[in-house]
Chain A
Amino acid sequence: MDERKNQLRTGIFVTLSLVLLVLMLFYFGLSEMFVRRAKAVTCFAESVQGLSVGSEVKFCGVRVGEVTDISILSREKLIKVDMAIELKHFKGVDESGDADVRDMSFRDFMEKEMKEGLRCRLEFQGITGMKYVSLDYFSKSGDIPVAPVEVREEGAFYIPAVSSTFKDILVALTNAVDRLSKMKFETLFGEVESVLKELNSRLADPALGSSLKNISRLTATLEKSAGNVSRVFSEERMEKLVSVFEQNLVNYNRLAKQLEKISQDMKLPESASGFRDMTAAAIEIRQELTVTLQKLGETLESIRRLAEQINRDPGFIFGGARKSQRTEE
């Protein structure tokens, strides 16, 4: 009975442990065997310190694979980095079928993206100094650089690389240091010395001293004036002024409102139209009056002539005008 119990316990223990072992083996590596991958190669013309076999490869920040090998291309003096890229991350890429179909599908996709500027670049992974290969659209040019000879001979799928930000900074720094080293410091210091001497002599000039005294006097006067102004416009007084101003504003507001009301009461539009009608009538009357006056003038002229005629010839009333007079007329 004891023996059976022993066997049962041992069986349970072995089964449990083996299940755990299989699960751990699967999750820590065996599952990788079922992942479909495509191989790609890139070459860097800079130090790859911090990059190692197993380092991540990211496509626009998404982990898509890992570095499988790092070697040196002795002819081109480049660092060749082999990458295994998991196709499950690329939804449009055909990951079914045999390896050739998968590779072709992946290559087509990558070639299209490379024309749009997809390139490899080394990036730092936090502050640890470790690096990863970043695949992103770093280049603006659609021209795809040619693969190095050794890579072409191998027939591997090549993704061009661009220099890392760190390298760019390093290059910029080196250039800056180069420029600094080319500077003629002796001449520069000589010039600085002469400028300082000139400055010293100018400072020792008595005119400058008197100007400074004037400026200080002016400043003192200004300070005094400012003090006077502040005394005159004391806070209390300012408050009073402000309150008066506010009161005035209130009064103005009230006045404006009253004016508005009056203007509304006056019915200005109606009055204006009446006024316009009246003016038109006056103009008409004036024109008629002018005509009447002209006619009156003409009548008066006729009466004046008649009176003159009567003066010259009183018989005119009875006999009418003579022939010569008529002709004159």
Chain B
Amino acid sequence: MKKIFSQCGEFMIFLGAVAGAVPELFRRRTRRWREFFYYAELCGFQSLPIVIMLCFLMGVVLGIQGAIQMRKVGTEIFMVDLIGFSVLKELGPLMVAIIATGRAGSAFAAEIGTMKVNEELSALRTMGSDPAGFLVLPKLCAMVISLPLLSVCGDAAGILGGMCVGVSVLEIPVAAYWLRTVDVLNIAALTGGLVKSAVYAILITLAGCYCGFTSSGDAQGVGRGATRAVVMSIFLVVISDAVMTLLFSFIGW
């Protein structure tokens, strides 16, 4: 129990340090564009093929399962609603978050952990730089921008996957499927998913960086830190998803 409290305390300290460094973003001298583009490419462009493929397959799977069940009661056309809302509101952002956890969260933890092992963090502090702001903010910005954009691509791929099933298995005409999709889906569903993605981005980055900062000072510690980052990120993503879904349902989103 004491360990949990002490870890929570450490996380709060880390969070405070990152929040304290946020004003640095508005100072031209301290902006680190190179790092931002590097992480944006790592989290966004490089994840794009796998995100599109997984979301497309998820749409296909969801479509097939939905088709089997809905065919029993003759409500095949409602499969469009099922896939559209599931992908836009939940599964699209969630799949992207899980991929980002695997790719970026663990990478962040390993990177910062290695820096800690090499005592580069101590060197940064000695030079008067705040490691939290210096290392975390470029990653955070890159993730907050990349993840919602990845979610948009994932949403489109998921809807396309569902459409393939609808057209081939249920023999719904492409035009009818598309019109139904446009008819039932709304901006609230799309923006709700994007907001979730942004929150996931913040949580994954913070969890990854925190696990890197708190990893023990050897090679095994770096590995453990990376593993912990993945577990913690997924845990936080699922918890936040539940909380946000509840909140959004209260405000009618």
Which A residues have a C-beta under 8 Å from some C-beta of B? 3, 6-7, 9-10, 12-14, 16-18, 20-21, 24-25, 27-31, 63, 126-128
B156 CB–A CB distance under 8 Å: yes
Stretch from B13-21, B39-47, B126-134, B233-241 forming part of the interface with A: B39-47
Other-chain contact of B156, A12, A13, A18, A20 (Cβ < 8 Å) = A20
Other-chain contact of B48, A6, A13, A27 (Cβ < 8 Å) = A13
Contact A28 B186, beta carbon cutoff 8 Å: yes
Residues of B within 8 Å of A18, CB to CB, are 149
Report the bound CA distance from A28 to B189 in whole Å: 9
Give the contacts of B107-165 with A (CB-CB under 8 A): 145-146, 149-150, 152-153, 155-156
B34 CB–A CB distance under 8 Å: yes
Using known A-B contacts A24-B156, A28-B189, A29-B186, determine if residue A13 contacts B40 with beta carbons closer than 8 Å: yes
Nearest-CB distance from B75 to chain A (Å)?
6
**Smallest Cβ-Cβ distance to B156: which chain A residue:** A20
Residues of A within 8 Å of B182, CB to CB, are 27-28, 31
A-B contact pairs, 12 of them (CB 8 A): A3-B37, A9-B41, A9-B46, A12-B45, A14-B145, A14-B149, A17-B153, A21-B152, A24-B152, A28-B182, A28-B185, A28-B187
**Smallest Cβ-Cβ distance to A66: which chain B residue:** B183
Give the contacts of B172-214 with A (CB-CB under 8 A): 182-183, 185-190, 194
**Smallest Cβ-Cβ distance to B38: which chain A residue:** A6
Contact A13 B45, beta carbon cutoff 8 Å: yes
Other-chain contact of B152, A17, A27, A29, A127 (Cβ < 8 Å) = A17
Report the bound CA distance from A3 to B36 in whole Å: 10
Which B residues have a C-beta under 8 Å from some C-beta of A? 34, 37-38, 40-41, 44-46, 48, 73-75, 78, 145-146, 149-150, 152-153, 155-156, 182-183, 185-190, 194
Using known A-B contacts A28-B182, A29-B187, determine if residue A10 contacts B34 with beta carbons closer than 8 Å: no
**Smallest Cβ-Cβ distance to A128: which chain B residue:** B75
Contact B190 A6, beta carbon cutoff 8 Å: no
Using known A-B contacts A24-B156, A28-B185, A128-B75, determine if residue A17 contacts B40 with beta carbons closer than 8 Å: no
Using known A-B contacts A7-B37, A20-B152, A20-B153, determine if residue A30 contacts B44 with beta carbons closer than 8 Å: no
Nearest-CB distance from A14 to chain B (Å)?
6
Using known A-B contacts A10-B45, A13-B146, A13-B149, determine if residue A24 contacts B40 with beta carbons closer than 8 Å: no
Can you list the 4 inter-chain pairs with the closest CB atoms, starting with the nearest?
A17-B149, A29-B187, A13-B45, A9-B45
Residues of A within 8 Å of B156, CB to CB, are 20, 24
Give the most central of A17, A27, A31, A127: most B CB within 10 Å: A17
Nearest-CB distance from A34 to chain B (Å)?
14
**Smallest Cβ-Cβ distance to B40: which chain A residue:** A10
Residues of A within 8 Å of B46, CB to CB, are 9
Contact B44 A10, beta carbon cutoff 8 Å: yes
Contact A6 B37, beta carbon cutoff 8 Å: yes
Nearest-CB distance from B89 to chain A (Å)?
12
**Smallest Cβ-Cβ distance to B42: which chain A residue:** A6
Residues of B within 8 Å of A128, CB to CB, are 75, 78
Report the bound CA distance from A118 to B194 in whole Å: 44
Residues of B within 8 Å of A63, CB to CB, are 183
Report the bound CA distance from A136 to B197 in whole Å: 45
Extra 4 A-B pairs, beta carbons < 8 Å, given A6-B40, A18-B149, A21-B149:
A6-B38, A6-B41, A9-B46, A14-B40
Residues of A within 8 Å of B34, CB to CB, are 3, 6
Report the bound CA distance from A59 to B48 in whole Å: 44
Report the bound CA distance from A233 to B245 in whole Å: 88
Contact B45 A127, beta carbon cutoff 8 Å: no
Nearest-CB distance from B191 to chain A (Å)?
8
Report the bound CA distance from A204 to B34 in whole Å: 112
**Smallest Cβ-Cβ distance to A130: which chain B residue:** B78
Contact B190 A13, beta carbon cutoff 8 Å: no
Report the bound CA distance from A10 to B143 in whole Å: 12
Contact A126 B75, beta carbon cutoff 8 Å: yes
Report the bound CA distance from A23 to B166 in whole Å: 22
Contact B75 A127, beta carbon cutoff 8 Å: yes
Contact B41 A10, beta carbon cutoff 8 Å: yes
Nearest-CB distance from A254 to chain B (Å)?
66
Residues of B within 8 Å of A10, CB to CB, are 37, 40-41, 44-45
Residues of A within 8 Å of B149, CB to CB, are 13-14, 17-18, 21
Contact A24 B45, beta carbon cutoff 8 Å: no
Using known A-B contacts A10-B45, A28-B185, A128-B75, determine if residue A17 contacts B190 with beta carbons closer than 8 Å: no
Residues of B within 8 Å of A28, CB to CB, are 182, 185-187, 189-190
